[in-house]
Amino acid sequence: MLTIKQITENTDAVIRGLEKKHFKNAKETIDQVIAFNDKRRSTQSVLDNNLSEVNSISKSVGQLMKEGKKEEAEVAKSRVAELKETNKTLQAEMDQAAEDMQNLLYTIPNVPYDEVPEGVGAEDNVVEKMGGMETELPKDALPHWELTKKYDLIDFDLGVKITGAGFPVYKGKGAQLQRALINFFLDEARKSGYLEIMPPTVVNAASGYGTGQLPDKEGQMYHCEVDDLYLIPTAEVPVTNIYRDVILEEKQLPIKNCAYTQCFRREAGSYGKDVRGLNRLHEFSKVELVRIDKPEHSKQSHKEMLDHVEGLLQKLELPYRILRLCGGDMSFTAALCFDFEVYSEAQKRWLEVSSVSNFDTYQANRLKCRYRSGEKKTELCHTLNGSALALPRIVAALLENNQTPEGIRIPKALVPYTGFEMID
């Protein structure tokens, strides 16, 4: 959530940033926020003056009574009663202005950094880097949904029977490969200094608001209505919310957490080739990185996270590219985001496997996540996160890009985790 200070001190820059994200009616919305804030402040000023007058008059009543000025004392009491009634109205008006402002702020996305390119959608993202190994496949190469059937690795039809489309059942070496990747990603994160967390996969509404999934992505989340709880779309939500309403000491930063969880997304409106096989699921496994940092160090943290994810893809021997997302393709909460995509040789298309984002103070302001430097007043932290990695499309790319006439080859880095070198 944007801070009032950001909006009032840099109004034009905020509006330009929101327009870069193609946020409709940016100027009108910001003007409305400022109007609510002015109303809140002016009402607070009147209320403060009235409260001061009430205190002053109340102190004089006793003295007037002592002096025998009963009539004047009664007038003073009447004035206090009148002010108290007025103050109730003023308090209600101030609270309403503050609530209206807060609710409006929840609907406004984060402002992108200057280095975010202009653009409307994915076609306007900038390719920053390409890497990995080129793949040569047999002429009869199969897409992963055919390979999983051929080697009995994943049963999509059984998932439909048990739950519905988008909930596959992993079997045999398919399940072992999945578990191997989870352990590999967690071990790599631990080697890089991340503390492993095992959080709940169901959160309350306050957690959803804290990281910005609510109210923006409410329709994409599975909602347990009886208990008003939400299935998490990513471990970012519970892990970042560990630091909600927390004041950290500067020496604790940067905080580096990682977590493996199941993730749940309704993916309403998805169709066609994008949902075939493992390309887009309602439930999937993911290892997430979360960092809490000081503002002056968050860009370095972001770079370290990008290097970490790139290192994973290199160890998995997959062809990849890194995209700098344009304003129109960025998430609601991000100030700067890079996507990692792996190339599926069998599908002849790029598959997104990670987004690594810097949220600046946007999430921290919602969370009230702050840090204290010495005796100085508290400041908002910066929050960052990134997938390291999301499993479904990694599995798809590994199966498709490593298929041979003898079977599917396992990358060397994964063999100690799978216990086998080939799927045959």
Annotated binding site for ATP: 265-267, 352-355
Q: Decide if 18 contacts 105 (C-beta within 8 A).
A: no
Q: Decide if 240 contacts 211 (C-beta within 8 A).
A: yes
Structure token pair of residue 69: 């000025």
CA angle, corner 146, sides to 140 and 345, nearest 5? Answer: 55
Cα–Cα distance, 347 to 354 (Å, whole number): 19
Q: Decide if 326 contacts 125 (C-beta within 8 A).
A: yes
The secondary structure of the chain in percent helix, strand, coil, rounded to multiples of 5, reads 50, 20, 30
Binding positions: 234, 265-267, 288, 352-355, 385
Q: 247: which strand partners?
A: 370
Binding positions for L-serine: 234, 265, 288, 385
Task: Write phi, then psi, for 98 (nearest 5 degrees).
Answer: -65, -40
CA distances from 261 to 43, 167, 360, 389 (A): 47, 15, 25, 11
The distance of Cα 310 from the centroid of its chain, to the nearest Å, equals: 20
Q: 286: which strand partners?
A: 261, 390
Structure token pair of residue 384: 């960052």
